[in-house]
Amino acid sequence: MSYYSDYFEIDKNYYPVINQNSIKDPANRWQDTYPHKTFISLLESAERMLARGTGADKKGIWVEGAYGTGKSRVLWALGSLLSCSNQELEEYFNSKQ
């Protein structure tokens, strides 16, 4: 029998599901979410929505994708970014450069 780990290096802290239990686990940190292009686009959409500049910006954001593509993880990271301290915010983006 073959396993994914036979072909890929899987982070030992990887959680296949983001839920209340995985969020409470100190080994699972929202700061480990990589700010890929789609995540940055989500952040920009959220900023426009919260700024409420134009009528189009006042709409909500719809997040969709196949199972296991990271939707819950990026939404957890987004929520954490909106509620974290300025220091945590700066540390997150400075560590990803």
Say if residues 86 and 97 touch (Cβ distance below 8 Å).
no
For 34-78, the pLDDT digits (tens) are: 889 999 999 999 999 989 877 777 788 899 999 888 999 999 999
Average pLDDT, the chain: 89
Look at the pTM and tell me if it is higher than 0.95.
no
